[in-house]
Chains A and B, each alone.
Chain A
């Protein structure tokens, strides 16, 4: 009996940790939507949600219940299998990256040597959800949204991957936990200072990668109704919504890990080892919301110009300079 227990225990612990991570992440995602509505409301001189529960705190739960009970409509002539599959691809690929992100020193679900590449690979896979849903819906608006998304994601992925190369060079590792440790040992404590260009490029392309304002052309309401998920209703729409916010959380978490020093902070908070990680994460999420409330949407050619003519050359230059510094200093 004890032998079996010993053999199964690591697996059980892993499953338990995964469940904890998933529930916490889902709560974060739900309350990011609440925070977004509240913050944007405040920025636009209105109240935001304030009816469901005290200060509207139960609003996300009410939203989920509403989406769950709504009718699920599949348009005529839609490619059924892919239509059903697309939201799942988006959500699963977006959420799985959380497994490699070190929340604190002793809580990494999968401590992979190429953690950074895993994050990039999964985020590039999540674009399939958008592209396929656009095509499978058999709708022009959705199709145009899907087309825009594929071009945008491919271009900004290059910039994003290149902006992280500087971090890899400085840390000498692609393991996210190692990167955090290398940062804590570096003179500035965070890579956001020596890698300021990389940090800027990463944040801009992360916003583009998650299809958020000002790069939300795949779902531009004014031109495409809602873009790739026009035809989705009920909880399938909810899954896309969830995937977008999961993308935000994951991208912010990667930025915190690679540029802002992860779980390390100026002093240790007793009892809350992940305090600094969460604080930095919330700051970046706030930045996302702030940007959404402030900036107007880009035009498509401006978007491509920004990606290919500014961000990619900037990140290449950043790699060159980082390499030279690493060589001589």
Chain B
């Protein structure tokens, strides 16, 4: 039963991910992305990671993709739609895919499940729940990485604001 479910989820995630890339229509591409995120959330659920599943839907499906849709609505897509291909160098992508496949093959053949590390053991997860453990892990051991990621995102936001500012000043 679990294997059937996993097979379906893997197939659905791959198919919808492909459809995201192959859709000629930007809005539909985003919607296929939504389908993919929902399947990913179910995949997390099959791994008993309900916290991650909820966060996945809340952040990616609920906020990030809504913003994507918002941006797509704001720009005029008619011109891009007529372009035959977005990039002339797309055959190179196949080369990259080939190397990725080789890497993935090497990775999978040498795969051993990692032992429980630090406070993240199965017993602790069962007795104290994901949210608490993840929180403790994130804010104690990985606080530096967490803060660095926050600062990076802040820089990105500031950059976006600066870019928009400049365009407005030129218009005047």
Binding site for B on A (CB under 8 A): 82, 112-114, 117-118, 120-122, 124-125, 127-128, 131-132, 135, 143, 146-147, 150-151, 153-154, 157, 161, 173-174
Asked if B50 contacts A150 (CB within 8 A), the reply is: no
Contact residues in A for B58 (Cβ distance below 8 Å): 117, 120-121, 124, 161
The residue on B at minimum CB distance from A174 is B131
- Indicate whether B70 reaches chain A with its CB closer than 8 angstroms: yes
Chain B contact residue count (CB 8 A cutoff): 21
Contact residues in B for A114 (Cβ distance below 8 Å): 50-51, 54, 130-131
The residue on B at minimum CB distance from A85 is B31
Q: Given A128-B66, A146-B73, A150-B73, A121 and B34 touching (CB < 8 A)?
A: no
Contact residues in B for A128 (Cβ distance below 8 Å): 34, 66
Bound CA span A131–B58, Å: 16
Asked if A121 contacts B70 (CB within 8 A), the reply is: no
Contact residues in A for B27 (Cβ distance below 8 Å): 135
Closest CB in chain A relative to B147 CB, distance in Å: 16
Selected from B55, B61, B67, B69, the residue in CB contact (under 8 A) with A125 is B61
Bound CA span A87–B34, Å: 17
Binding site for A on B (CB under 8 A): 27, 31, 34, 50-51, 54-55, 57-58, 61-63, 66-67, 69-70, 73-74, 129-131
Bound CA span A112–B57, Å: 15
Asked if B54 contacts A153 (CB within 8 A), the reply is: no
23 residue pairs bridging A and B, Cβ less than 8 Å apart? A112-B50, A114-B51, A114-B54, A117-B51, A117-B58, A120-B54, A120-B58, A121-B61, A122-B57, A124-B62, A125-B62, A127-B62, A127-B66, A131-B69, A132-B31, A135-B69, A146-B73, A147-B73, A150-B69, A150-B73, A154-B66, A157-B62, A161-B58
Asked if B70 contacts A147 (CB within 8 A), the reply is: yes
- Excluding A124-B61, A125-B57, A127-B62, 10 further A-B contacts by CB distance (< 8 Å) are A112-B50, A113-B131, A121-B62, A124-B57, A124-B62, A124-B63, A131-B70, A154-B66, A157-B63, A173-B129
Bound CA span A114–B74, Å: 35
The 5 closest A-B pairs by CB, nearest first: A124-B62, A117-B54, A121-B57, A121-B58, A150-B70
Q: Given A120-B58, A121-B57, A113 and B70 touching (CB < 8 A)?
A: no
The residue on B at minimum CB distance from A126 is B62
The residue on A at minimum CB distance from B61 is A125
**Most B CB atoms within 10 A — which of A122, A143, A147, A174?**
A174
Asked if B129 contacts A113 (CB within 8 A), the reply is: yes
Bound CA span A157–B61, Å: 13
The residue on A at minimum CB distance from B63 is A154
Asked if B73 contacts A153 (CB within 8 A), the reply is: no
Closest CB in chain A relative to B133 CB, distance in Å: 12
**Most A CB atoms within 10 A — which of B55, B58, B73, B129?**
B58
Bound CA span A124–B61, Å: 8
Contact residues in A for B61 (Cβ distance below 8 Å): 121, 124-125
Closest CB in chain A relative to B50 CB, distance in Å: 5
Selected from A124, A154, A173, the residue in CB contact (under 8 A) with B70 is A154
Bound CA span A5–B55, Å: 37
Closest CB in chain B relative to A130 CB, distance in Å: 10
Asked if A150 contacts B51 (CB within 8 A), the reply is: no
Bound CA span A117–B63, Å: 14
Bound CA span A173–B128, Å: 10
Bound CA span A122–B130, Å: 20
Bound CA span A151–B66, Å: 8
Selected from A121, A132, A154, A173, the residue in CB contact (under 8 A) with B54 is A121
Contact residues in A for B129 (Cβ distance below 8 Å): 113, 173
The residue on A at minimum CB distance from B51 is A114
Contact residues in B for A146 (Cβ distance below 8 Å): 73
